[in-house]
């Protein structure tokens, strides 16, 4: 028997009653600074995830 995914518990969003502004987008120099730090630390996994995030975000804008 599968558990019921739609329970009767209510869930309030964490932003309810708060003023939440969008963060400013990353600038090109910030993106390159993050990439260089990840490359220098040989953090291949996080570098690949960061590149994927940047490419997927830019792909939606074009």
Contacts of 47 (CB under 8 A, 6+ apart): 35, 38, 39
Region for residue 6 given its phi and psi (left: phi exceeds 0; alpha: psi -120 to 50; beta: otherwise): beta
Mean pLDDT (whole number) for 31-44: 95
Number of domains composing the chain: 1
Kindly tell me if the per-residue pLDDT of 62 is higher than 80.
Answer: no
Instruction: Look at residue 34 and tell me if it is in a domain.
Output: yes
Instruction: Look at residue 9 and tell me if it is in a domain.
Output: no
pLDDT digits (tens, 9 = 90+) for 39-59: 999 999 999 999 999 888 766
Domain coverage including residue 50: 28-61
Instruction: Look at residue 55 and tell me if it is in a domain.
Output: yes
- Residue 1 has a pLDDT of 54
Instruction: Look at residue 36 and tell me if it is in a domain.
Output: yes
């Amino acid at each position: 028997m599968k558990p019921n995914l739609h329970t009767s518990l209510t869930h309030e969003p964490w932003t309810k009653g708060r003023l939440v502004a969008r963060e400013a987008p990353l600038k090109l120099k910030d993106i390159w600074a993050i990439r260089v730090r990840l490359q220098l630390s040989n953090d291949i996994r996080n570098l690949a995830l960061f590149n994927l995030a940047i490419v997927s975000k830019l792909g939606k804008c074009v």
